[in-house]
Amino acid sequence: MKIAFVGKGGSGKTTLSSLFVSYLAGAGKPVLAIDADINQHLAVALGATEEQALAWPTLGEHMPMIKDYLRGDNPRIASADAMIKTTPPGRGSRLVRPFEDNPVFDACFRPLGGVRLGVTGRFDEDDLGVACYHSKVGAAELLLNHLVDGAGEYVVMDMTAGADAFASGLFTRFDVTFLVCEPTLRSVGVYRQYADHARDFGVRLVAVGNKVTDTDDVDFLTETLGDALLGWMTTSGHVRAAERGRTRPIGELEQPNLDTLASMLSTVDASARDWARYQRQGVEFHLRNAHAWGNDRTGGDLAAQVDPDFVLDPSVAAAS
C-alpha cells in the first residue's frame, strides 16, 4: 500500500507520519518511507540525529541516475535526458520493488529504526530564485511511477504542506491519503480545499485530528469534518519527549493514540488498488506536463513516451 500524509503547515503532519511509520515497523511490517516535505524533518522524527539527517543521500541529487536506471531499454525513451518527472513506465522500463536491492535504493535509501528511508533533499541557497521545490520532489514522483509494491508492503510519504501537493500528479499515487487536521478553522479549511481538488481523481482522503486537548476539540473536529474524521491524536508526552531528543519505543505511546494508529492501519489494509486507473492517471498527468512545459524543455513530443498497451501491476513486475 502507498500512503501519503498531508496537511496545513505546522499541523503535525511529519510527527504523525513518523508515528505511523514507527507503528508499522514495530509490528514487523516492511516500510519504505520517503520524506518529500520541503522542511525534511522525517529522519530526525524517526530517531536520526541532526548530523545524520544532514548527511543523508537525497533523491534529488541522484535524478540523472534514477532516470537512466528506470529507463531500462524502453524503446519509446531515447535517452535519460528525454525523461521528465512524470514519464510513465512502458515495456522495457525497469520496474522496482520497494525492498529489493538495486542501484537507486543503494544510492538513495538508508535503514533507520527498522525502516528503509529516502529523502528528496533540502531547498538550499543554490536553489533560491532559480528552482522550485518540486524539482526535487520530481525524483520521488518518477520513482513511484515505476514502483510496484506487493501485499504486506507499505510505502509511506510525508508530503509538502497544504495544496502544494497538487503542483504535480504525485497526489494520485496513493491508496490512502491522511490529512492531519488541527482543531482550528484554518486547518479544517485546508482539508476542504484538498478534498475539493482531489474529488475528481478518486483520491481516498481520510482526516485524522491532531493536538487534541479536550472534548471541545473533539466536538469541533466531529462537527466540521463529519464522516471524514477517522480519529484523533491527543496531546502526547511521548511526542514531546521525542522532540526533546528522548525517543521512546512506539509501544509506550499513549493508548488512545495507539488506538488511532491501529484504526489508520485498518483503513489502509482495507483499501484496494485499481492498477488500470493508477496507470491511466499517471499517463494523464504526463501528457499535461508534456504540453505545459516538457515538450519545450526536451525539444520532443513526450506523448510518444506513452505505451498505450502497458499497465503497471505486480504480474508485469514479476515478469520483468
Q: What is the pLDDT of residues 100-156, one digit of tens each?
A: 999 999 999 999 989 999 999 876 555 444 344 456 799 999 999 999 998 899 999
pLDDT in tens, 227-248: 999 999 998 888 888 777 777 8
Which residues constitute the domain of residue 253? 2-305
Strand partners, 181: 209
59 φ, ψ to 5°? -65, -40
The pLDDT confidence band at residue 287, using thresholds 50, 70 and 90, is very high
8 A C-beta contact, residue 31 and residue 156: yes
Tell me whether residue 312 is in a domain. Answer: no
pLDDT in tens, 30-73: 999 999 998 899 999 999 999 999 999 999 999 999 999 999 99
Tell me whether residue 43 is in a domain. Answer: yes
CATH code, 268: 3.40.50.300
Between CA 263 and CA 249 the distance in angstroms is 19
Enter the C-alpha cell of residue 292.
505545459
8 A C-beta contact, residue 77 and residue 87: yes
Tell me whether residue 291 is in a domain. Answer: yes
8 A C-beta contact, residue 7 and residue 277: no
For residue 151, the model assigns a pLDDT of 87
Tell me whether residue 19 is in a domain. Answer: yes
pTM higher than 0.85 for the full model? Answer: yes
Domain total for the chain? 1
- Three-state SS for 313? coil
For residue 131, the model assigns a pLDDT of 44
Tell me whether residue 318 is in a domain. Answer: no
Tell me whether residue 273 is in a domain. Answer: yes
Tell me whether residue 313 is in a domain. Answer: no
Tell me whether residue 315 is in a domain. Answer: no
